[in-house]
């Protein structure tokens, strides 16, 4: 067993040998640790993203802020149907795009006229944010809002008569916009006002997805927004300072992966900085956050990884588009779970309502099949360790030998993430034999790992192993940070290939 000093931690990534150092007690640990709300968020594991708004009627994906609110008129909108579909998926939280990048508000905001109040929906008296919140509370679903303060085409670009595209095109226009006298401050006040409305008028909100932290001028917006969030809803998990994306929208997370990160300016206001092996990936369907960040065991801040997954669950973009929004196969959906939740991240799966205001039956059916399959696979372990165990070796045994091919491990991340490398063994014919990892993700390309082995654990690691018949297995810590890992849970299963 090896313990590593902080001065040599970077050598882990170069496969160099470190000198032994004495283990540190939990009390002396300087590892980054998650807050209680970050631990709870990680335990939710699966979320549902509800992308709905003016884009559904205009056919746009990102919204140019020019489409008239008069086009927004869902005839059968049912927020309860959305939440029930999310529950069938197995989601513990649901996140609605109350205001996407075009700037159209699904509540009657007093900060702008570009809202539901100027649409035909319910004669201008509707409030879909409230309908969504009510449905979530009725069905015990954690409530999430999507609102991106750094991208609001209507507030920032309403002066521009030309084409408003995406990525570099929009960023260039916003740079020009912020040079106009008074516009940047006015824009900022709109964003602050909308955030105050959302976090004041709807009671406790559990999660806020806030997109595009690297946009032009965003540092002057996100810092005060972050402070406002902490003031108004201190128990809410805020994407940015408390969670982060993996650099793609295809449901892939880097492995090995550390939740601890450093940031570009050394504060908790900004996005994670790169380590020596990190890189950006090619743009994934208009994604702006293409930075793949491994994290670092000595990182200062804890960020739960959350994988956005529209391409992984269905075809056709984030918003519903006729004849295009079709689900993928169940096997692809199960693979998504293993390569996100199974590598220590959350996954938030898109369930886009159509122009009626209902999630299409094909997506609802696929969501239900996914939820049922995950329950079938992981609800009834052959054996389970339920109490925290600390030590270089942790064993789990059961009465009669049975076939197993899946091992689930969870670290007690409340005291930090420690496991760097480990092994799994089974007791067969009176001796311990190594268990060969069989993890394989066909869609993973570098820098994502198609064949994860036994390295980091974090919140959860699901290892598919070569089938063996046994009644005892053991986890052995081979390398760790600041003492031995604390194992919160260990489970074994036998599941058919998917």
DSSP structural state of residue 80: H
State mean pLDDT over 338-352: 97
State mean pLDDT over 93-103: 97
pLDDT (0 to 100) of residue 283: 55
pLDDT (0 to 100) of residue 248: 86
Residue, of 444 and 24, whose pLDDT is higher:
444
Q: Check pLDDT > 70 for residue 10.
A: no
pLDDT (0 to 100) of residue 292: 86
| Dist. CA 107–CA 449, nearest whole Å | 42
Q: What is the pLDDT of residues 371-400, one digit of tens each?
A: 999 999 999 999 999 899 999 999 999 999
Q: What is the pLDDT of residues 437-465, one digit of tens each?
A: 999 999 999 999 999 999 999 999 999 99
Name the band, by pLDDT with cuts 50, 70 and 90, for residue 284.
Answer: low
CB burial of residue 71 (10 Å; 0-12, 13-18, 19+): middle
Q: Check pLDDT > 80 for residue 26.
A: no
Instruction: State residue 289 phi and psi, 5-degree precision.
Output: -90, 85
| Dist. CA 109–CA 115, nearest whole Å | 7
Residue 349 three-state SS: strand
Cα pseudo-dihedral 263, 419, 208, 180, rounded to 10: 20
Domains and CATH numbers, the chain: 36-378 (3.20.20.80), 381-493 (2.60.120.260)
| Dist. CA 479–CA 456, nearest whole Å | 10
Q: Check pLDDT > 90 for residue 481.
A: yes
End-to-end, the C-alpha distance of the chain in Å comes to: 35
Q: Structure tokens of 125?
A: 């008296």
Q: What is the pLDDT of residues 128-167, one digit of tens each?
A: 999 999 999 999 999 999 999 989 999 999 999 999 988 7
| Dist. CA 139–CA 480, nearest whole Å | 41
State mean pLDDT over 350-367: 97
Q: What is the pLDDT of residues 169-199, one digit of tens each?
A: 888 999 999 999 999 999 999 999 999 999 9
The whole-model pTM stands at: 0.92
Name the band, by pLDDT with cuts 50, 70 and 90, for residue 15.
Answer: very low
């Amino acid at each position: 067993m090896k313990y590593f000093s902080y001065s040599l931690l970077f050598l882990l990534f170069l496969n160099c040998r470190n000198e032994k150092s004495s283990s540190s007690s939990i009390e002396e640990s300087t590892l980054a640790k998650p807050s209680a709300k970050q631990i709870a968020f990680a335990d939710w594991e699966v979320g549902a993203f509800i992308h709905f708004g003016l884009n559904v009627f205009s056919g746009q994906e990102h919204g140019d802020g020019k489409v008239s609110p008069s086009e927004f008129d869902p005839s059968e909108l049912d927020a309860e149907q959305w939440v029930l579909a999310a529950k069938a998926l197995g989601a513990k939280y649901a996140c609605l795009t109350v205001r996407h990048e075009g700037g159209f508000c699904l509540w009657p905001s007093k900060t702008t006229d570009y809202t539901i109040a100027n649409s035909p929906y319910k004669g201008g008296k509707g409030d879909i944010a409230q309908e969504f919140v009510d449905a979530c509370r009725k069905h015990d679903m954690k409530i999430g809002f999507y609102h991106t303060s750094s991208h609001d085409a209507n507030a920032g670009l309403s002066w521009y008569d030309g084409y408003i595209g995406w990525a570099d095109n929009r960023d260039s226009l916003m740079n020009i916009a912020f040079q106009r006298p008074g516009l940047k401050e006015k824009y900022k006040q709109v964003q602050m006002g909308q955030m105050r409305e959302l976090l004041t008028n709807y009671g406790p909100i559990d999660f806020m997805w806030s997109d595009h932290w690297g946009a032009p001028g965003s540092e002057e917006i996100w810092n005060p927004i972050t402070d406002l969030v902490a003031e108004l809803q201190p128990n809410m998990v805020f994407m940015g300072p408390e969670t982060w994306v993996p650099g793609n929208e295809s449901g892939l997370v880097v492995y090995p992966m550390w939740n601890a990160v450093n940031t570009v300016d050394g504060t908790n206001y900004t996005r994670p900085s790169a380590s020596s092996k990190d890189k950006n990936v090619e743009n994934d369907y208009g994604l702006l956050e293409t930075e793949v960040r491994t994290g670092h065991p000595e990182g200062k801040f804890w960020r739960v990884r959350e994988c956005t997954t529209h391409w992984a669950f269905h075809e056709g973009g984030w918003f519903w588009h006729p004849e295009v929004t079709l689900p993928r196969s169940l096997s692809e959906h199960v693979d998504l779970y293993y390569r996100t939740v199974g590598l220590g991240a959350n996954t938030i799966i898109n369930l886009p309502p159509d122009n009626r205001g209902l999630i299409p039956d094909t997506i609802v059916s696929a969501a239900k099949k996914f939820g049922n399959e995950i329950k079938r696979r992981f609800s009834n372990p052959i054996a389970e360790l339920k109490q925290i165990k600390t030590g270089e070796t942790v064993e789990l045994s059961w009465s009669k030998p049975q076939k197993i091919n899946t091992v689930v491990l969870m670290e007690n991340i409340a005291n930090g993430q420690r496991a760097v490398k480990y092994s799994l063994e089974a007791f067969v014919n009176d001796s311990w034999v190594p268990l060969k990892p069989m993890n394989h993700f066909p869609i993973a390309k570098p820098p994502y790992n198609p064949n994860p082995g036994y390295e980091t654990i974090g919140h959860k690691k699901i290892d598919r192993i070569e089938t063996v018949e046994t009644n005892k297995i053991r986890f052995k810590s081979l390398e760790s940070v600041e003492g031995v890992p604390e194992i919160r849970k260990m489970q074994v299963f036998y599941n058919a290939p998917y």
